[in-house]
């Protein structure tokens, strides 16, 4: 088990189960060896293989389950936090074959409790696919079915931001997500929503969503401050706040990437000499050799001499 998740008693309970061998990968393997026709063990073991990214073995077990559909439909199993049937889980594993399989699975099981992991898989397809437009069309279709699903809303906003498509709809989805999760902060999603707002010319709202209040909230977290400063440096807006965040990040963590960010912020403000000095500091911290940093210095010098 990687990491710790509260509450403590629940986590310690998982440790106890691991120690006693209850429901572990090895225990399930041994159970299946003793009873090769046990569909429940097959389903639970298939999930273990899914969790290990061994999709080939996962599908092999699923095919065995689907070969006995009558019994599999009646057999209840617990997969992670979801209660389902062995049959439904075996059908669910098809989503690892292609994005369209997610639509087919949700068509067959419109009320499935496995919708959330299926939608997470869609997000994964989008960010690892060369055919993003095709995956984006699946987002569009599913948004009509599940307009309030938080996992889908988040993925859709991110996809709209990357492709610069459905900007108005993406903003509406972002607004809905943030209204339903007012205390939750996801930097990647927040930046995507702010990007859509900036694309739409709604700078004031973008600053409400991802402005000084966010920098203040994370004033002691170097990575978050650097990420905030870099976002606004690329946008070419809110630069005074971005500069302050970058400088604070450097105080917290004297890192080459943060000096690179500060250089970008200064460059966007027309402070060329200071920007070059900051980029040279970044280069120094990585031993004097970095193609990106060296290229940035050349670009700033060229801009300064125009």
Domain at 109-210: CATH code = 1.25.40.10
Q: What burial class does residue 291 get, using C-beta atoms within 10 Å of its C-beta: 0-12 exposed, 13-18 middle, 19+ buried?
A: exposed
Q: pLDDT at position 181, please?
A: 84
Q: Fill in the DSSP letter of residue 95.
A: G
Q: Would you say the CATH fold of 230-306 matches that of 18-97?
A: yes
Strand partners of residue 85: 76
Q: What is the pLDDT of residue 1?
A: 61
Name the residue ranges covered by the structural domains of the chain: 18-97, 109-210, 230-306
Which pairing describes strands 82-85 and 76-79: parallel, antiparallel, or unpaired? antiparallel
C-alpha 195/C-alpha 294 separation (Å) is 28
User: Each residue's pLDDT tens digit in the chain (306 positions)?
Assistant: 666 777 888 888 878 888 888 788 999 999 999 999 999 999 999 999 999 999 999 999 999 999 999 999 999 998 877 899 999 999 999 999 999 999 999 999 999 999 999 999 999 999 888 889 999 999 999 999 999 998 999 999 999 999 999 999 999 999 998 888 888 888 999 999 999 999 999 999 999 999 999 999 999 999 999 999 999 999 999 999 999 999 999 999 999 999 999 999 999 999 999 999 999 999 999 999 999 999 999 999 999 988
CB distance 242 to 264 below 8 Å = no
Q: How far is residue 111's CA from residue 53's CA, in Å, rounded to a whole number?
A: 26
Q: What angle do CA 81, 123, 43 make, to 5 degrees?
A: 35
Question: Of the candidates 268, 266, 270, which has an alpha carbon nearest to the alpha carbon of residue 281?
Answer: 266
Q: How far apart are CA 35 and CA 298, in angstroms?
A: 68
Q: What is the pLDDT of residue 54?
A: 96
Give the single-character DSSP code of 9: H
In Å, how far are 46, 124, 156, 252 from 161, measured between CA atoms?
35, 16, 8, 31
Topology of domain 18-97 in CATH is 1.25.40
Domain 230-306 falls under CATH 1.25.40.10: yes
The b-or-e profile of 34-58 (16+ CB within 10 A means b, else e) is eeeebbbbbbbbbbbbbeeeeeeeb
Q: Which of 96, 90, 83 is nearest to 46 (CA)?
A: 90
Distances (CA, A) of 195 to 6, 160, 209, 216: 34, 10, 10, 20
């Amino acid at each position: 088990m990687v990491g710790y998740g509260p509450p403590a008693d629940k986590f310690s309970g998982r440790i106890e189960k691991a120690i006693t061998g209850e429901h572990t990968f090895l225990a399930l393997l041994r159970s299946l060896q003793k009873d090769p026709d046990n569909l429940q063990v097959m389903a639970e073991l298939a999930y273990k293989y899914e969790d290990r990214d061994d999709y080939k073995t996962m599908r092999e077990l699923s095919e065995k389950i689907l070969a006995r559909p009558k019994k599999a439909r009646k057999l209840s199993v617990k997969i992670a936090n979801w209660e389902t049937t062995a049959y439904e889980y075996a059908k669910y594993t098809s989503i690892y074959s292609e994005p369209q399989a997610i639509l087919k699975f949700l068509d067959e099981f419109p009320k499935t409790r496995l919708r959330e992991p299926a939608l997470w898989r869609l997000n994964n397809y989008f960010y690892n696919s060369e055919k993003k437009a095709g995956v984006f069309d699946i987002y569009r279709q599913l948004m009509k079915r599940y307009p309030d699903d938080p996992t889908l809303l988040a993925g859709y906003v991110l996809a709209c931001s990357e492709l610069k498509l459905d900007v108005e709809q993406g903003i509406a989805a972002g607004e809905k997500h943030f209204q339903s999760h007012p205390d939750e902060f996801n930097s990647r999603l927040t930046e995507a929503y702010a990007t859509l707002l900036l694309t739409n010319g709604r700078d004031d709202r973008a600053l409400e969503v991802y402005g000084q209040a966010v920098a203040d909230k994370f004033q002691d977290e170097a990575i978050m401050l650097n990420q905030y400063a870099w976002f606004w440096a690329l946008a070419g807006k809110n630069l005074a706040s971005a500069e302050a965040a970058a400088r604070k990040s450097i105080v917290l963590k004297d890192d080459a990437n943060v000096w690179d960010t500060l250089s970008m912020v200064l460059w966007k403000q027309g402070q060329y000499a200071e920007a070059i000095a900051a980029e040279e500091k970044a280069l120094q911290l990585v031993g004097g050799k970095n193609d990106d940093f060296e290229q940035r210095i050349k670009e700033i010098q060229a801009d300064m001499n125009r």
